[in-house]
Amino acid sequence: MSTDLFNLTGKRALVTGSSQGIGLALARGLAAAGADIILNGRDEAKLKAAAESLGAKHLLAFDATDHEVVRKAVDTFEAETGAIDILVNNAGMQHRAPLEEFPADAFEQLLRTNISTVFNVGQAVARHMIKRGAGKIINIASVQTALARPGIAPYTATKGAVGNLTKGMATDWAKYGLQCNAIAPGYFDTPLNAALVADADFTTWLEKRTPAGRWGKVDELVGACIFLSSSASSFVNGHVLYVDGGLTASL
């Protein structure tokens, strides 16, 4: 099979939450496949540092939880710079607490950060993709799209919603030439999981629970992202691709 199927030269990709962790790794991988990267986040200093490390030309420092701000930022970029061909909805957060004690404000923040951002940026970018009759949207889901663990019930709810919103995007937008899919990472060594990585008991549990026997490395998500961003996935739509070392396949 020709590697041209995975070549992203001439494509422009917006990755939300891309100043660190999974978002930065995916941006770096897409750039290596030829894509022109647009970095996004709320912290301009972090964004500039990430841009320097990647040699990225485009920065969009908007708050993805604000629908109107997102729409204006995307519309302005499309008008002044050009098309966004690929969107990776990666912005997200975690908050851990027993469900019976979970703060209401933290629950609302999880909803805004993990679900509303996918809707806000997805809708703003898709409106332009629909006019062109082509586009790739990749939402970052989680093993918690399918499974739950104690202390993160609201996070689990948000990632379940991301999985179903992905299916809804595909159902509404496939007829316009868009492919909308999700990547569901297992447990990866990222800033979001820093507390778990530092917990020796949790790491021991994870190594026994995961058939691969280890934490994932963020670079191991890049191949899935390139596949879903490229012409190789031209008939893949509404799919949630688990990249989890076999965790969801095994009891």
How far is 123 from 128, CA to CA, in rounded Å?
Answer: 9
pTM of the predicted model, to two decimals? Answer: 0.96
Q: Is residue 187 annotated as part of the catalytic site, yes or no?
A: no
From first to last of the 251 residues of the chain, give the pLDDT tens digit. Answer: 466 899 999 999 999 999 999 999 999 999 999 999 999 998 888 999 999 999 999 999 999 999 999 999 999 999 999 999 999 999 999 999 999 999 999 999 999 999 999 999 999 999 999 999 999 999 999 999 999 999 999 999 999 999 999 999 999 999 999 999 999 999 999 887 888 999 999 999 999 999 999 999 999 999 999 999 999 999 999 999 999 999 999 98
180: left (phi over 0), alpha (psi -120 to 50) or beta: beta
- The total number of residues written for the chain in this structure: 251
3-242 topology per CATH: Rossmann fold (3.40.50)
Q: Which of 155, 176, 187, 242 is catalytic?
A: 155
Short-list 50, 59, 63, 51, CA closest to 81: 59
On whether the CB atoms of residues 39 and 19 are closer than 8 A, the answer is yes
Which tokens hold the place of 179? 């492919």
**Run of H or E residues at 12:** strand 12-15
On whether the CB atoms of residues 186 and 210 are closer than 8 A, the answer is yes
